[in-house]
């Protein structure tokens, strides 16, 4: 897949946090020409953005971690693509790093998270998320009430859209790096997983 990193969810471990975007500095937003490409797998994005296969996922929870100081800002651009045909800019989420830090212990975290966020490092989470208007806000992106210095998150709902691919691209990183993890909240109809019954 050109220079993009294609990620597939581990369907056996959907209840665990999995890697959505490996920690990186600021990347370039996806251009309209690249977004309109009919085949995401054959598109060169010029940077190693991470693209998650969400064809089986009904909804996910996303959390941002990175190397940063308290209150450092992060801006994420969210994109979705169908199996074939042009994609969309779903929306923009801004977040602020908090005093909350996390060490991703190998005993309880998915291997992909251990690979992206090595246990020997301390990662600062975000406690404040705000979604800005675009095609997915209000229906696809929801931000629960957050509390200062506790890990926050936002949800992305794929149940009423035909997206097969999803990406979060950090375009503003005030700290050293920003990465993302996700946990599945549901699977789409027709996909059977013993962890989700409904």
- Half-sphere CA count of 152, side-chain side, radius 13 A: 22
Q: Which residues pair with 187 in a beta bridge?
A: 57
Q: Which residues pair with 26 in a beta bridge?
A: none
Question: Cβ atoms within 10 A of the Cβ of 169, count?
Answer: 22
Q: How far apart are the C-alpha atoms of 100 and 95, rounded to whole Å?
A: 13
pLDDT at 171 over 90: yes
**Percentage of residues in the chain having pLDDT higher than 90:** 40
The better pLDDT of the pair 169, 97 is held by 169
The pTM score is: 0.89
Q: What is the pLDDT of residues 148-159, one digit of tens each?
A: 778 889 999 998
- Give pLDDT, residue 54: 95
Longest distance between any two alpha carbons in the chain, whole Å: 43
The tokens describing 35, both together, are 């977004």
Lowest mean pLDDT among 5-9, 58-62, 148-152: 148-152
Q: How far apart are the C-alpha atoms of 40 and 43, rounded to whole Å?
A: 5
Please provide the DSSP assignment of 157-194 as one string: E-TTS-EEEEEEEEEEESSS-EEEEEEEEEE-TT--BT
Q: How far apart are the C-alpha atoms of 49 and 37, rounded to whole Å?
A: 15
Q: What is the pLDDT of residues 78-103, one digit of tens each?
A: 999 998 888 899 999 999 888 877 77
CB 93 within 8 A of CB 78: yes
pLDDT at 41 over 80: no
- Give pLDDT, residue 57: 95
The 8-class DSSP code of residue 16 comes to: S
pLDDT at 104 over 80: no
- Give pLDDT, residue 197: 44
List the chain domain ranges.
14-27+56-78+89-160+168-187
């Amino acid at each position: 897949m050109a220079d993009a990193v294609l990620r597939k969810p581990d369907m056996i471990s959907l209840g665990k946090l999995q890697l959505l975007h490996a920690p990186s500095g600021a990347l370039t937003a996806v251009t309209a020409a690249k977004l309109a490409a009919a085949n995401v797998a054959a598109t060169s994005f010029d940077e190693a953005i991470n693209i998650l296969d969400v064809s089986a996922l009904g909804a996910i929870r996303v959390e941002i971690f990175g190397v940063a100081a308290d209150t450092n800002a992060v801006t994420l651009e969210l994109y979705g693509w169908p199996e074939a045909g042009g994609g969309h800019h779903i929306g923009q989420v801004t977040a602020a790093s908090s005093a909350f830090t996390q060490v991703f212990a190998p005993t309880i975290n998915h291997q992909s998270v251990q690979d992206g966020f090595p246990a020997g490092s301390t990662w600062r989470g975000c406690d404040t998320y705000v979604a800005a208007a675009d095609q997915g806000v209000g229906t696809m992106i929801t931000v629960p009430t957050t509390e200062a210095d506790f890990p926050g998150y936002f949800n992305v709902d794929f149940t009423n859209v035909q997206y097969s691919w999803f990406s979060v691209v950090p375009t503003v990183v005030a700290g050293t790096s920003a990465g993302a993890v996700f946990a599945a909240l549901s699977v789409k109809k027709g996909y059977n997983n013993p962890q989700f019954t409904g």
